[in-house]
Structure formats: structure tokens, C-alpha cells
Chains A and B, each alone.
Chain A
Amino acid sequence: MLILECPYCGVNAEETELSAGGEAHLKRFGPGSSDDNFHDYLFVRENPRGVHLERWRHANGCGKWFHAARCTTTLEVFGTYSAQTTEPPQEIKDKISARRPGWSWREFS
């Protein structure tokens, strides 16, 4: 069972207490953007075997959104961090690097 620590209230919540919000750090494209960008923003998703960055919501708890760094093949959790950021903090990147040297996810590594 997947257990994530909510970075706001500090609770170690298991997955029935959380709701998954999909890929993290999406750049939003709206009216006036190109068809390619709009298509990719709406439908195309990172679907890696390995390190993945996601949004989660502590739905049956404090109700706040946060980010998590996780491995999709082992379910190992590298860390969770605030939703108020557009990229993973250095501390999280270091934690991932310690476990998965040479990792990359989109433009981050």
C-alpha cells in the first residue's frame, strides 16, 4: 500500500486517504496557443518506467494539494513537497539522485 507524507499536516497518509492528481508541473496552454501545445497539454502524459513526479491531494485529511516523487516500478517514494512550486526543490532532486543515479524526468534531472 502506497504511503505518502503530507508536507502540510505531516500525516503519513495511505492511498485511501489521498486522491491522485496526475502528472506534476504541467505547463498550461490555453486560447492563442498552438494546436500542438494544446494537444500535448490536454492529452499527452509522461508515462515513465521509473522516476515520476505527480500531484496528490490529501483528500480525507487536510484537503491540500502537494507533489510527490515516486518510482512507478517499485512504488518507492523519494519524497513529497509543496504544491507552490513549478519544479522539484533541490532537496528532492538530491534524494532521487541518491536512489536513482542519472535519473531524468522531462527537463529535470
Chain B
Amino acid sequence: MKRYSAFAVAREALRYHTGWERAWRSPEPKRRYDVIIVGAGGHGLATAYFLGKNFGITNVAVIEKGWLGGGNTGRNTTIIRSNYLQDPSAAIYEKARSLYETMSQDVNYNIMFSPRGVIMLAQTEHECRGYKRTAHANALQGVQTEWISPERVKELVPIINLEGPRYPVLGGLWQARGGTARHDAVAWGYARACSAMGMDIIQKCEVTGVRTEAGRVVGVDTTKGAIDCDKLGMVVAGNASVLSEQAGFRLPMESVALQALVSEPIKPCMDVVVMANTVHGYLSQSDKGEMVIGGGTDVYNNYTQRGSFNHVEETVRALNETFPMMSRLKMLRQWGGIVDVTGDRSPIISSTPVGGCFVNCGWGTGGFKAIPGSGWAMAELMATGHSKLAEEFTMTRFREGKFIDESVAAGVAH
């Protein structure tokens, strides 16, 4: 793999850009790999990357039924933050946020990480108490956040209307080191780094069955034939229930559509990320100038990658009250992704009843921000059998009653 650099840009400029190579290979699958990761989204590719980087395991295939990064990795609103209440969540999301800071250098691919700051608006008394509590918890966890006044919110976000008749802005939880990144580039950067380590990324290859012998995984059947493996990692977000049934176990999970939309591009008007959890809306401005708007989840199971129309209206109506200038904006595009929601709204990074088979799912409405931390923990779990970051996120926690109660933080808005 040739390194990307200012020198490379200059060199290619001098020879009509004929020397750029493909960012990753697209090989046919081999008969056998040490590790197979199912799902070439951010989490799957990050898992493969850290298996190679941290543990030297490079005989790895990442199998994807569609195209790389075409699921929730390419459908989220790219927000990165780590202001969680519970210790296990704060630890893994903060790990991810800190890895995002250096990711462009680590993988030699510009992911356009923009630590522009994230505000979570408090619009009810209950939220004020909740976010003050979170700020105190974050101080103990070593996550830098602070409770800010409505006046400070107005300074940071001049276009906001503090005095909305229904939900006035009473303050906010401010994480200055949160922000956004280019979501596709996260998948592409990891894919390029994995391919350079000799891993095979196999797209348009759907897993149709999981083969086990004596309670241990021995391989998978795919649309490109059977492939053997020692260890299997399932990192398929909304489709985790379908894949786990093939392996013979069930997950405490349901899949629903979560949607987002973007406006026409306008001049820069807001240089932070604003989340309003009470009204289920979150907003940032992309580098192209589009206002990126995240909405709510559907209330019923589905795999449509589309989302209900009424949520668009609810989200935009709520944002119009808080950002009156948005009422004149036309919306350009709307889309949905299938998110996997667990019983306690926290993820599952866990071994399974099938030997050698591991699962990483349940990120629900907030997976993008966790990609590097999730990959780090999943790789450690798959390589060594234990990960400190992941130990609270087992799938057996529901049986034991050891929930990670983040539903307030993670139920909808991420």
C-alpha cells in the first residue's frame, strides 16, 4: 500500500494522477481463515483492524452481503460524544472518542474528525437534573463535560431560540471534545488498513448458514461457497437476530428503522452539534453546508431502511420551534437504517453459547461514535477471551439482572 501524503498528491499531480492504486483489494474467498468477521461496517472493520494491529492476527476475512459501509455506517448522523452516565458505557465510548482523535494518523486516511463540541439541550426540569448528574458522573470517570447556562448555549449556537413556548432551553450538557467525522471515511480507512495487513474484504457475499461441530463453530456457508474458520465474529447490527438463529441461539434484541434527513446546503450557521432529546431531534451542519437532522425510531419491528413519515414531521416540527430559521429550509434527502435495540438499550459484546463464536451488536441508535472502541474491545475479546472494556456488555447480563441502564441517554437521540 502506498502511503497518502502531501508528497503523494504532488507526485500524482505531476503524472496526471495515474499512480493512485485501489484503496483495498477485492479478492475471492480462500477455503479457510483463522477469523471470519461477518459484516463490513465500521464495527466489523474496526474489529478486524485491531485484531491485526493489537494481536498480529491477519489471516482474517471480513464478509459483507452488500457493499462496504453501506448499512448504518453510511446512514448515521456522524455524531461522536462520550457523555454517558454509567461507568461501562462512559469507558467504551470515551475510548472510542479518544481513538477517533488519532485515527486519521493511525490508518493514514483522512476521516475528517471535527471536534467541534456537542451540546445536549435540557428542555425540562427533569433533563436539567439528569444532565447535572451526568456531568458529575463524567467528572469522576475522567470524561470532560460541563453543565452550561442558557446564555452560554446562545453564545455557542446563535441561531437557537431559547424561549420556545413549549420547550424553553433551560441549559445544556456541553462536551467540547465531541464532534463529528466523515462516516464513510471511517469504514474506508479501516478497510484500506485491513487490506494492507493482508486481510480479505469480501463484498456481495451473504452468509447463509453457520456450521458448527460439537458446539463449536467451524465455518460459514455463503453465496460464494463454504469457508472454514477457527473463530467467528458476528458484527451485523440490525441483522444480528437473523444470523444468530443460523448459529442456533437467540438474542434479546429487536430491529427497528431509525431515520435521518438533510436540508439543502446553506452558508455556515452553526459550528457545534446540538441534540434535543426531549423533542427527539439532533442537528449539525455538514462541511457541504447541509443541515444534518436525526429523527426518531419507528415503534414497530421492521427492516425497511426507510422509516415512518410521521417521524419526519415530528422531528422537523420540534426543530422549527428551537431553530426558527429552519422553517424556510427545503429538505433534500431522507433515509433510514435498521438499528438493533436490546432490552436495556446498551450494546452486546460477548461470547455466545456456541464455542468460538462472538457477537457484537445492539448498538441501537448510537453505534457510529463507538466504532473504534467497539472494535478494540471485540478484537481483544476474540483474541484473548476477555476484554475489560467489554466485560459488562455480555449477553448473559439480562439473565443476571446486571443491566447497563442507559436508556435515558441512549433510548432515541444519539
Contact A45–B398 (Cβ < 8 Å): no
Contact B253–A47 (Cβ < 8 Å): yes
Contact A54–B301 (Cβ < 8 Å): yes
Does any Cβ of A come within 8 Å of B164's Cβ?
Answer: no
**Complex interface residues of chain A between 36 and 89 (CB less than 8 A to chain B):** 39-40, 42-45, 47-49, 52, 54, 70, 72-75
A104, chain B: closest CB distance, angstroms: 12
Contact B310–A20 (Cβ < 8 Å): no
Considering the chains assembled together, what is the distance between the CA atoms of A79 and B111 in angstroms?
47
Considering the chains assembled together, what is the distance between the CA atoms of A2 and B306 in angstroms?
12
Q: Which of B242, B302, B310 contacts A16 (CB 8 A)?
A: B310
Does any Cβ of B come within 8 Å of A15's Cβ?
Answer: yes
**Complex interface residues of chain B between 297 and 340 (CB less than 8 A to chain A):** 299-304, 308-310
Assuming the contacts A2-B308, A72-B303, asked whether A39 and B254 have C-beta atoms less than 8 A apart, the reply is no
Q: Which of B254, B309, B343, B399 contacts A47 (CB 8 A)?
A: B254
Contact A15–B310 (Cβ < 8 Å): yes
Assuming the contacts A39-B398, A54-B301, asked whether A45 and B308 have C-beta atoms less than 8 A apart, the reply is no
Instruction: Give the number of residues in B that approach A within 8 Å (Cβ atoms).
Output: 21
Contact B252–A45 (Cβ < 8 Å): yes
Considering the chains assembled together, what is the distance between the CA atoms of A49 and B206 in angstroms?
15
Residue of A nearest to B397 (CB): A43
Residue of B nearest to A35 (CB): B399
Tell me which residues across on chain B come within 8 A of A42, comparing CB atoms: 343, 398
Tell me which residues across on chain B come within 8 A of A54, comparing CB atoms: 300-301
Assuming the contacts A39-B399, A42-B398, asked whether A72 and B301 have C-beta atoms less than 8 A apart, the reply is yes
Does any Cβ of B come within 8 Å of A109's Cβ?
Answer: no
Does any Cβ of A come within 8 Å of B134's Cβ?
Answer: no
Does any Cβ of B come within 8 Å of A12's Cβ?
Answer: no
Considering the chains assembled together, what is the distance between the CA atoms of A107 and B242 in angstroms?
17
Considering the chains assembled together, what is the distance between the CA atoms of A62 and B299 in angstroms?
20
Tell me which residues across on chain A come within 8 A of B388, comparing CB atoms: none
Does any Cβ of A come within 8 Å of B374's Cβ?
Answer: no
Contact B250–A49 (Cβ < 8 Å): no
Tell me which residues across on chain B come within 8 A of A45, comparing CB atoms: 252-254
Considering the chains assembled together, what is the distance between the CA atoms of A12 and B171 in angstroms?
43
Tell me which residues across on chain B come within 8 A of A43, comparing CB atoms: 252, 343, 398
Contact B302–A1 (Cβ < 8 Å): no
Considering the chains assembled together, what is the distance between the CA atoms of A74 and B399 in angstroms?
33
Q: Number of contact residues on A: which range applies?
A: 20 to 34
Does any Cβ of A come within 8 Å of B251's Cβ?
Answer: yes
User: What residues of chain B have their CB less than 8 Å away from a CB belonging to chain A?
Assistant: 239, 241-242, 250-255, 299-304, 308-310, 343, 398-399
Does any Cβ of B come within 8 Å of A19's Cβ?
Answer: yes
A39, chain B: closest CB distance, angstroms: 5
Contact A19–B299 (Cβ < 8 Å): yes
Tell me which residues across on chain A come within 8 A of B310, comparing CB atoms: 1, 15-16
Assuming the contacts A1-B309, A1-B310, A35-B399, asked whether A44 and B301 have C-beta atoms less than 8 A apart, the reply is no
Considering the chains assembled together, what is the distance between the CA atoms of A47 and B300 in angstroms?
11
Assuming the contacts A39-B398, A45-B254, A49-B242, asked whether A73 and B303 have C-beta atoms less than 8 A apart, the reply is yes
- Annotate A9-38 by CB proximity to B: 1 below 8 A, 0 otherwise: 000000110011010000000000001000
Assuming the contacts A2-B300, A20-B300, asked whether A44 and B308 have C-beta atoms less than 8 A apart, the reply is no
Tell me which residues across on chain B come within 8 A of A20, comparing CB atoms: 299-300
Residue of A nearest to B343 (CB): A43
Considering the chains assembled together, what is the distance between the CA atoms of A72 and B305 in angstroms?
11
Contact A75–B241 (Cβ < 8 Å): no
Assuming the contacts A2-B308, A15-B308, asked whether A47 and B398 have C-beta atoms less than 8 A apart, the reply is no
Considering the chains assembled together, what is the distance between the CA atoms of A72 and B250 in angstroms?
18
Tell me which residues across on chain B come within 8 A of A75, comparing CB atoms: 302, 304
Considering the chains assembled together, what is the distance between the CA atoms of A1 and B310 in angstroms?
8
Contact A52–B309 (Cβ < 8 Å): no
Q: Which of A19, A39, A40, A47 contacts B241 (CB 8 A)?
A: A47
Tell me which residues across on chain B come within 8 A of A47, comparing CB atoms: 241-242, 251, 253-255, 301
A94, chain B: closest CB distance, angstroms: 23
Contact B399–A72 (Cβ < 8 Å): no
Considering the chains assembled together, what is the distance between the CA atoms of A2 and B256 in angstroms?
14
Which of B239, B301, B399 counts the most A-chain CB atoms under 10 A from its CB?
B301
Taking A1-B308, A1-B310, A35-B399 as known contacts, 19 extra A-B pairs with beta carbons closer than 8 A to each other, sorted by chain A number, are: A15-B308, A19-B299, A20-B299, A39-B399, A40-B250, A43-B252, A43-B343, A44-B250, A44-B252, A45-B253, A47-B241, A47-B242, A47-B253, A49-B242, A49-B303, A72-B301, A72-B304, A73-B302, A73-B303
B301, chain A: closest CB distance, angstroms: 5
Which of B242, B254, B300, B309 counts the most A-chain CB atoms under 10 A from its CB?
B300
The contact sample of 22 A-B pairs, CB cut-off 8 A, is: A1-B309, A15-B310, A22-B254, A39-B399, A43-B252, A43-B398, A44-B250, A44-B251, A44-B252, A47-B242, A47-B253, A47-B254, A49-B303, A54-B300, A54-B301, A72-B255, A72-B302, A72-B304, A73-B304, A74-B304, A75-B302, A75-B304
